[in-house]
Amino acid sequence: KEIFLKDYKKPDYLFDTVDLEFQLGDEKTIVASKIGVSPGNEVGTTSPLALHGRDLKLLSVKVNGTELKSDEYTVDPRHLTILTPPAGVFNLEIVTEIYPQLNTSLEGLYRSTGNFCTQCEAEGFRKITYFQDRPDVMAKYTCRIEGDKTLYPVLLSNGNLIKQGDLEGGKHYALWEDPFKKPCYLFALVAGQLECREDSFVTCSGRNVTLRIWTPAQDLPKTSHAMYSLKEAMKWDEEVFGLEYDLHLFNIVVVPDFNMGAMENKSLNVFQSRLVLASPEAATDGDYAAILGVIGHEYFHNWTGNRVTCRDWFQLTLKEGLTVFRDQEFSSDLGCRTVKRIADVSKLRSYQFPQDAGPMAHPIRPHSYIKMDNFYTVTVYEKGAEVVRMYKTMFGASGFRKGMDLYFQRHDGQAVTCEDFYAAMCDANNAQLPNFLQWYSQAGTPTVKVSSSYDESSKTFSLKFSQDVPPTPGQPLKEPMFIPVAIGLVDSTGKDMPLTTIYSDGMLKTLSNDGQPIFTTVLQFKKKEEEFVFNNVSERPVPSLLRGYSAPIRLDSDLTESDLYFLLANDSDEFNRWEAGQVLARKLMLSLVADFQQQKPLALNPKFVDGLRAILRSTSLDKEFIAKAITLPGLGEIMDMMPVADPDAVHAVRTFIKKELASQLKDDLLAAVTSNRSSEAYAFNHDSVARRTLKNTCLAYLVSLNEPDVTELALSEYNSATNMTEQFASLAALSQNPGQVRDDALLDFYNKWQHDYLVVSKWFALQATSDIPGNVANVQKLLAHPAFDMRNPNKVYSLIGGFCGSPVSFHAKDGSGYKFLGEVVLQLDKINPQVASRMVSAFSRWRRYDETRQALAKAQLEMIISANGLSENVYEIASKSLAA
């Protein structure tokens, strides 16, 4: 059943208080709830009260203490309906029985390695008890948990612990009370054998907060980086947004089986292990960075998500886009801003752009869904964060802060919409952003074309913009959007020119900043076509457009190749230096792909090699920036720009360029490896991360040559590595080339690490994403590996997800990759529909390929959709993929 945003109606009944009681058992768990109900509108309604529920056994239902007779309510597989509730305030008591040990969907209450835990967002609370499972129903909760004291020594829920004690029969109980009103998706319960690392944080107003990270005992040493991250996040939110933590206790629980990354339940965040546990020996710099970002993300939700929540699930980006933006800023401030921005933009381009151009394209606020779980997407999260970033670009840091302050002032304790956020931002800045709300309703990545001209006699420089938003499913025609374009003009010596006046909208505007010269200004491009003319421009400049990637668009400018090489060498905006290199690389790759397809010999433009050599030799640039700047765009990005995606050609070309660069820059690459070794103990800070990143990037280039000296070098790096970052990078470098060395190294690594399931997941992913010939069979074999487990999402994402992300093997021309995925999806769907649905998405862009591949992929989608008992999750993705 499809649900539409336009059908939103306020609830007829409000829930003010919810008192829950859990009796945890191995065979069955009993859930008793007592709800204080009041009318949702002034005229006391007498409409039936419909509660959601799934996989529940109803034991009893009472209204104001009296058991309802069988003709006073109805039960169907998805609802319990109270037919004639009393007018006014009343008490509702419901008792249900559930079976967490059988719950493999990892939604609602389930077991993971013996412990109990919950995941309620988006609509999992209905698997715990009958309830109005919607975010605009906000109540104050208490939660009493009762269970065996030996099996479940730790009993946690949201808020404050107010009572605990022993019971007869070896049991004990704990009573929790959350003083803040919340929607049920933020409810959480955890019970089991866990131990904690404890620390504390004193907030800006002097509140002492106890911080606890809970894991199985043996993992406790691996929680120190997570604790560091949490304390930094708490401090950062106070400093940057004035937001303080609001309770005396903050818990984080680590769970090996978890569908998503983590969950922001009030004062009881739940994380999958990968995003908490780290040690230098077993986790990479990438893992450390991900932990910092996600610990921050979930903590920041306490204000953006929990204190102010969403009216309905269509508004998801209100909390997710905003919170991703906040975690990006947090990571930027603790690391390197340019490098973080490059990483975020790369992610957007490689994952969100394809989604926005395919059958699942949706605005950051979707208009409809069948299963909400399918809309926790890169569009809602990452593009949503870009939309939030545009407010900051328009209003500046202090204007953005004013907007945030007003948002909390107006909406603390409420469930609101994206318009409420927009209004707070505009009102706080006394501004209007015409056509800006289109970002919330129109899908598709806008393309912006820019052409420039310089008039010597009048000393004016003109930029003509036009925008085009492509058609997407259900949205054939689009309106112009508000696009902020940050821009600077670079003179022939490579310096930014001062910008004085600009003519646009038929008006002459002075650009000033309290008398200081302006070097970057933000153009407000909001019509189909618009011209901006800069005055007093002394010579023909090279424009640096869309600085810092000021809007989530595709830019198509008339900059020449030599302009781009000039910007690569000179732009004061480091992001745009990187970008100039990427534009050059994309053009180069596309033209070589055409050569390859016409069976012409491939040759690399020497200017490109020179440009990268200069970057590589720079002593002033950040090392991580250098690593990013010498890394070619991914296969997906290039395929995305072709009329018919050709994975084999793009792969051949990328491999060719990589080897060619490696051989021509070999001495510089070797020097970079040698000079970036270090014998210092592992530390996670920007300088050390940057050093390792550059070294590892160069090593991978070198090993692609598959020559004895570089293989030897990588082997010695592998053997001497004292941290996982360097150990894994050298293993990955070695595994590029099929053969005995590769096989031996992979086996050695497994033998070393087989006891550590997170490292084994990396080992699965490395092999799954490999583009060595015949890899489908390897991955098929790994499915049967004793360490693999279809019920653990982490392992599925590593092996199956990894495989789908490697274009050459997944898109093998004989259809073997498609057939493999088709079978796995059906198997997975029986276990965990959310995970199956994520995997089936790999098929969604099947129309992008040649006819042979199209037919093979389509056949798999048709096979999936005709399967018996298919979940709504998989059905939605598969049917939309076939329809578009």
Interface residue list for ligand ARG (CB under 6 A): 121-122, 259-260, 262-264, 297-298, 320, 373, 376
Q: How far, CA to CA in Å, does 269 sit from each of 139, 176, 179, 299?
A: 19, 15, 17, 8
Catalytic residue among 298, 386, 574, 726: 298
The option from Zn ion, ligand ARG, none interacting with 260 (CB < 5 to 8 A, set by class) reads ligand ARG
Q: Tally Cβ neighbours within 10 Å of residue 737.
A: 16
The option from Zn ion, ligand ARG, none interacting with 690 (CB < 5 to 8 A, set by class) reads none
According to CB under 5 A, which residues from 288 to 327 bind Zn ion?
A: 320, 323
The option from ligand ARG, Zn ion, none interacting with 676 (CB < 5 to 8 A, set by class) reads none
Q: In whole angstroms, how close is the CB of 258 to ligand ARG at the nearest point?
A: 9
Beta bridge partners of 163: 175
Measured from the CB atom, the residue of 133 and 320 that comes closer to Zn ion is: 320
Measured from the CB atom, the residue of 323 and 696 that comes closer to Zn ion is: 323
- Rounded distance between C-alpha atoms, residue 499 and residue 511, angstroms: 7
Q: In whole angstroms, how close is the CB of 832 to ligand ARG at the nearest point?
A: 11
- Rounded distance between C-alpha atoms, residue 456 and residue 459, angstroms: 5
The option from Zn ion, ligand ARG, none interacting with 341 (CB < 5 to 8 A, set by class) reads none
The option from Zn ion, ligand ARG, none interacting with 729 (CB < 5 to 8 A, set by class) reads none
Q: Could you tell me what percentage of the chain is helix, strand and coil, using 3-state DSSP and rounding each to the nearest 5?
A: 45, 25, 35
- Rounded distance between C-alpha atoms, residue 40 and residue 829, angstroms: 38
Measured from the CB atom, the residue of 178 and 298 that comes closer to Zn ion is: 298
The option from ligand ARG, Zn ion, none interacting with 122 (CB < 5 to 8 A, set by class) reads ligand ARG
The option from ligand ARG, Zn ion, none interacting with 841 (CB < 5 to 8 A, set by class) reads none
According to CB under 5 A, which residues from 530 to 569 bind Zn ion?
A: none
Residue with structure tokens 């008992």? 869
According to CB under 5 A, which residues from 322 to 341 bind Zn ion?
A: 323
Q: In whole angstroms, how close is the CB of 386 to ligand ARG at the nearest point?
A: 16
Peptide bond into 122 cis (omega under 30): yes
Number of residues that bind Zn ion (CB under 5 A): 2
Q: In whole angstroms, how close is the CB of 880 to ligand ARG at the nearest point?
A: 17
For residue 171, which phi and psi values (nearest 5 degrees)? -100, 165
Q: What is the dihedral of CA 167, 171, 175, 176, to 10 degrees?
A: 170
- Rounded distance between C-alpha atoms, residue 202 and residue 204, angstroms: 7
- Rounded distance between C-alpha atoms, residue 426 and residue 300, angstroms: 23
Q: Which tokens sit at 736?
A: 């590029």
Q: In whole angstroms, how close is the CB of 803 to ligand ARG at the nearest point?
A: 22
The option from Zn ion, ligand ARG, none interacting with 263 (CB < 5 to 8 A, set by class) reads ligand ARG
3-class secondary structure, 112: strand
Measured from the CB atom, the residue of 262 and 731 that comes closer to ligand ARG is: 262
Q: In whole angstroms, how close is the CB of 266 to ligand ARG at the nearest point?
A: 12
Q: In whole angstroms, how close is the CB of 318 to ligand ARG at the nearest point?
A: 12
- Rounded distance between C-alpha atoms, residue 527 and residue 462, angstroms: 17
* Residue 141: closest CA among 122, 123, 157, 119: 157
The option from Zn ion, ligand ARG, none interacting with 262 (CB < 5 to 8 A, set by class) reads ligand ARG
The option from ligand ARG, Zn ion, none interacting with 344 (CB < 5 to 8 A, set by class) reads none
Active site residue 298: yes
Q: Could you give the angle at which helices 708-720 and 724-734 cross, rounded to 10 degrees?
A: 150
Measured from the CB atom, the residue of 371 and 848 that comes closer to ligand ARG is: 371
Measured from the CB atom, the residue of 662 and 835 that comes closer to ligand ARG is: 835
According to CB under 5 A, which residues from 497 to 526 bind Zn ion?
A: none
Q: In whole angstroms, how close is the CB of 261 to ligand ARG at the nearest point?
A: 7
- Rounded distance between C-alpha atoms, residue 798 and residue 262, angstroms: 17
* Residue 195: closest CA among 253, 113, 135: 253
Contact 556, 522 (CB under 8 A): no
The option from ligand ARG, Zn ion, none interacting with 373 (CB < 5 to 8 A, set by class) reads ligand ARG
Q: In whole angstroms, how close is the CB of 432 to ligand ARG at the nearest point?
A: 31
Q: In whole angstroms, how close is the CB of 260 to Zn ion at the nearest point?
A: 9
Q: In whole angstroms, how close is the CB of 122 to ligand ARG at the nearest point?
A: 5
Measured from the CB atom, the residue of 297 and 845 that comes closer to Zn ion is: 297
- Rounded distance between C-alpha atoms, residue 46 and residue 91, angstroms: 15
Q: Could you give the angle at which helices 384-411 and 418-428 cross, rounded to 10 degrees?
A: 80
Burial of 883 from C-beta contacts in 10 A (0-12 / 13-18 / 19+) = exposed
Q: In whole angstroms, how close is the CB of 388 to Zn ion at the nearest point?
A: 13
Strands 79-82 and 49-52 come out as antiparallel
Q: Which tokens sit at 386?
A: 């870009």
- Rounded distance between C-alpha atoms, residue 428 and residue 171, angstroms: 54
Q: In whole angstroms, how close is the CB of 689 to ligand ARG at the nearest point?
A: 24
Measured from the CB atom, the residue of 383 and 654 that comes closer to Zn ion is: 383
Q: Which tokens sit at 695?
A: 């070294």
- Rounded distance between C-alpha atoms, residue 20 and residue 681, angstroms: 49
Q: Could you give the angle at which helices 561-570 and 606-617 cross, rounded to 10 degrees?
A: 10
Q: Residue count of the chain, please give it.
A: 884
Measured from the CB atom, the residue of 373 and 726 that comes closer to ligand ARG is: 373
The option from ligand ARG, Zn ion, none interacting with 612 (CB < 5 to 8 A, set by class) reads none
Measured from the CB atom, the residue of 415 and 782 that comes closer to ligand ARG is: 415
According to CB under 5 A, which residues from 147 to 206 bind Zn ion?
A: none
Measured from the CB atom, the residue of 344 and 622 that comes closer to Zn ion is: 344
**Cα angle 696, 700, 702; round to 5:** 115
Contact 414, 424 (CB under 8 A): no
Measured from the CB atom, the residue of 211 and 310 that comes closer to ligand ARG is: 310
Measured from the CB atom, the residue of 361 and 835 that comes closer to ligand ARG is: 835
- Rounded distance between C-alpha atoms, residue 687 and residue 394, angstroms: 32
**Cα angle 503, 508, 510; round to 5:** 100
The option from Zn ion, ligand ARG, none interacting with 530 (CB < 5 to 8 A, set by class) reads none
DSSP labels for 156-173? EESSEEEEEEEETTTEEE
DSSP labels for 703-754? HTT--HHHHHHHHHHHHH--SHHHHHHHHHHHTTS-SHHHHHHHHHHHHHHT
Burial of 781 from C-beta contacts in 10 A (0-12 / 13-18 / 19+) = exposed
**Cα angle 672, 678, 679; round to 5:** 155
Which amino acids are annotated catalytic?
Answer: 298
Residues that bind Zn ion (CB under 5 A): 320, 323
